[in-house]
Amino acid sequence: MSDTLVPEGTMIGRRVERREDERLLTGHGGYLDDLDLPDALAAAFLRSPHAHAKILSFDATEALTLPGVVAVFSGADLMEIQKPLAPKVQHPQLRDYPRLPMPPQELHYVGEPLAVVVAESRYIAEDALELIEVDFEVLPAVASTAVALQENGPLAHSGDESNVAVLLTQSAGDAAKALAEAPNVLSEEFFVMRGGGHSMETRGVAARFEMATGQVTIWDTTQAPHYARQQLSVIYEMAEDDIRVIAPADVGGGFGPKAQFYGEEVVIPWVAMKLGRAVKWVEDRQENMVTSMMERSQTHRVDVGFDDNGLLLAVKDVIEHDQGAYCAGLQVPSITTSTVPGPYHVPNIEIELRACYTNMVPTSSVRGAGRPQAVFVMERMIDRIAEHLGLDPADVRRRNLIQADEFPYKVGIMFRDGSPLTYDSGDFPTLLEGTLERIGYTEARERQAKLREEGRYVGIGLSVYIEGCGLGPYEGAKIRLTNKGRILVTLAAAGQGQGYETVYAQIAADGIGLDMDYIEVKTGDTSRIPFGQGTFASRITATCGPAVMDAAKQMRERLIDTAAVLLGCDASEVDFVGDKACLGGDLEKSVSLQQLAQTANIGKHGITMPRGIKAGIETSSYFSPERAAYASGAHAALVEVDPETGEIEILKYVIGHDCGNVINPLLVDGQVLGGFAHGIGNAMYEEPVYDVEGQPQATSYLDYALVSATEVPPVELFHIQTPSPLNPLGVKGAGEGGTIPAPATIANAVEDALRPLRARVTRAPITPARIVDAIHRAESTSADQD
């Protein structure tokens, strides 16, 4: 990626280093736990040790005698806030269970909060947790979708009729008929394992109540401060204006789980209000492992019908989705159902969703959000089609890909944003061919054949994917000329490392026609801007970007009009030189931004404004996309597998990526490469295993393998840019594309490597033990056949 094509004087498209970096590199970031809140108390939660249990009795008498303990509240002590945390994405047929902030009676997963201790220090609060006596009646637990959906099996919620959350079907054409008539049909069952977000900073909430104003200030590591405020104003029955939610300028990663809303976010501010003291809770890593929402876990039973040339005729997929103990929203399974067809022509589609409740931590979006599973299923089946027909898997993809001249392309089913699934733009064949060229596909196939003769197992994996991103409903920006004569861009969106302070200054600089140095960006504080949605679904560049550009253009007009009045000239004669608005570029005939602020914003008390000057130089804009934009990409991996140990060595990896126009190539590359590492984790390492009783088995990084620099292979990344017609910047999301196809790509490569052994890869992550098992299974199957 190079910025040589960027027109001189514009900042969009330029590889600008980040403004955030200096404070973060010198230890002066301001993360939640760094806040200096004098006399703040520390909170710790008592959590359910059982996957499913009734609370029979609760006794905190001894805990309360411990010096330094200020208060202990059980769920029953805070009945006034025990109101359901609503699912984010709902459906009329959803059988929703109220997810209470701190349930007073029945608990539904290990880690669910049941009481909170507030003390002078976290050390003391944790001591107190040990002294609380709780009697439980342990109930049967549901620890998989298979158990959840079995007849007469245990129930995740006592007294319910079944564990089904929702049954939904999406279809286009007639898949059943097409499958019945197809000359070839292949079927398979796939399972994709849960995985977590694992931001390096855990979740945290701090709150302080101002008795004098009746306002509560809440610092929250959330990705969506306005969403949190909205939820809290309903639960607390307080006006929005009395609740200020601040996502600190520095939040240590999000990846989805921090876009959700949790009981702790309700309990901590409430307790701070009750006690009249500042209270801070910072999740520790063990809590994070069992209480921060996860994603992924899905079983797919797929049937694919195709002709003798490998052309897809029909896809039928039945998806079992693990909703966890409660439905935090149907966003993930509904994204999965609409991502299955991917970049291919699929004339007949039927996707059936069976979302069910289990006694595990609730699931919601984690980077990729329902898409990696869908891509895994479709891309594995494309490879199976190639194998069945003896075709090259690259050719099968070529034959089925939607072509560059077919946009907008209507798939025939609905997307999770409520609109018909319609791809806005893209060029999938160019992505595939570019990826094949860079992986050296033809030579790699030749080398593979040669190495196979030597008894070595080398495989090539390909994946092409699409990613619905830039979702609505809206995002906004406010721009103000400050009294000091600087431009302040305020976003509702809260960042977690994406570089908003840099990117949105670039956009505003172009919109106003001012140097970035005069522009400052602030994010994620409900008191600074009234409306907002939040950072999720790779949506901010495509929603907030156009809003900033529009507000910036308005700001330019306001500044220039004001300057023209002061300079006594026509607006068309005014332009900026540095921070001065000049007549015909002449610094002698200029007014500074500060003078403009002095005139239009500060004014003189009681004195009439100069004629023609409009008071208050502030602009705002909210952008509502018509529907989701579609980013896309292709991945290719060359791997060697050791059939004895099951070890996978990634020899080469190539990513082709298209997120439309690129605002800052340095940062977009960072997003893609970071997402890729997450994808490698999902492909080969990450497994939050629960046992049959619903007990989490991986609750530290000793048991849950997060990839380090030695596990992530070097990767060659290239971009193409097909602008989105859905927003004036032509941008799409970049945050998840690196993650989405990685498990599919590795799985395809591993099965391709082991093709002579007929070993089947049907699960992610693909671990050495599973590879060896698959080889053994294939050996015994072929022995049976002999």
Partner 1 sequence: MRDHATEFPTRTQDETHTVGCTVNGREYEAVVDPRMTLADFLREKLRLTGTHLGCEHGVCGACTVIVDGAATRSCLMLAVQADGAQVETVEGLAEDGELSPLQCAFKRNHALQCGFCTPGFLMSVTAALREESVTTEEQAREVLSGNICRCTGYTGLVKSVLEASAGKEGNA
Residues binding partner 1 (CB under 8 A): 17-18, 20-22, 24-29, 31, 33-34, 36, 67-68, 123, 198-202, 250-253, 255, 284-285, 496-499, 666-667, 669-670, 673-678, 700-702, 706-710, 712, 714-715, 738
How many CB atoms lie under 10 A from the CB of residue 467?
A: 31
Distance (Å, rounded) from C-alpha 16 to C-alpha 42?
40
Tell me, letter by letter, the H, E, C secondary structure of 42-63: EEEEEECCCCCEEEEEEECHHH
Q: Hey, which bits of 49-121 come out as E strands?
A: 53-59, 69-74, 106-107, 113-119
Q: Give 586's Cβ-side CA count (13 Å radius).
A: 7
Q: Are 683 and 372 in contact (CB under 8 A)?
A: no
In order, the DSSP letters of 183-240 are: SEEEEEEEEE--EE---SS--EEEEEEETTTTEEEEEE--S-HHHHHHHHHHHHT--G
Q: What is the CA radius of gyration of the chain?
A: 28
Query: Are β-strands 312-324 and 348-357 bridged in parallel, bridged antiparallel, or unpaired?
Result: parallel
- At 165 the three-state DSSP class reads strand
Amino acid at 426: G
Residue from 143, 759, 227 nearest 494 by CA: 227
Q: Which residue's CB is nearer to partner 1, number 238 or number 673?
A: 673
Nearest 10 degrees: Cα torsion 529, 532, 538, 540? -40
Helices (H), 652-711: 665-684
Distance (Å, rounded) from C-alpha 206 to C-alpha 39?
12
Q: Which residue's CB is nearer to partner 1, number 263 or number 675?
A: 675
Residue from 348, 355, 345 nearest 318 by CA: 355
Report the Cα 472 to chain-centroid distance in Å: 15
Q: Are 337 and 170 in contact (CB under 8 A)?
A: yes
| Residue found by looking up tokens 């869908």 in the block | 374
Tell me, letter by letter, the H, E, C secondary structure of 579-593: CEEEECCEEEEEEEH
Amino acid at 438: R
Distance (Å, rounded) from C-alpha 376 to C-alpha 191?
9
Distance (Å, rounded) from C-alpha 394 to C-alpha 413?
26
- How far apart are CB 681 and partner 1 at their closest, in Å? 9
User: Which helix H or strand E contains 153, and what residues bound it?
Assistant: none
Distance (Å, rounded) from C-alpha 252 to C-alpha 336?
27
Q: Which residue's CB is nearer to partner 1, number 428 or number 653?
A: 653
In order, the DSSP letters of 212-228 are: TTTEEEEEE--S-HHHH
User: What is the end-to-end Cα distance of the chain in Å, rounded?
Assistant: 54
Residue 548 main-chain phi, psi, to 5 deg: -65, -45
Q: Which residue's CB is nearer to partner 1, number 621 or number 745?
A: 745
Q: Which residue's CB is nearer to partner 1, number 200 or number 607?
A: 200
Q: Which residue's CB is nearer to partner 1, number 175 or number 672?
A: 672
Q: Which residue's CB is nearer to partner 1, number 646 or number 675?
A: 675
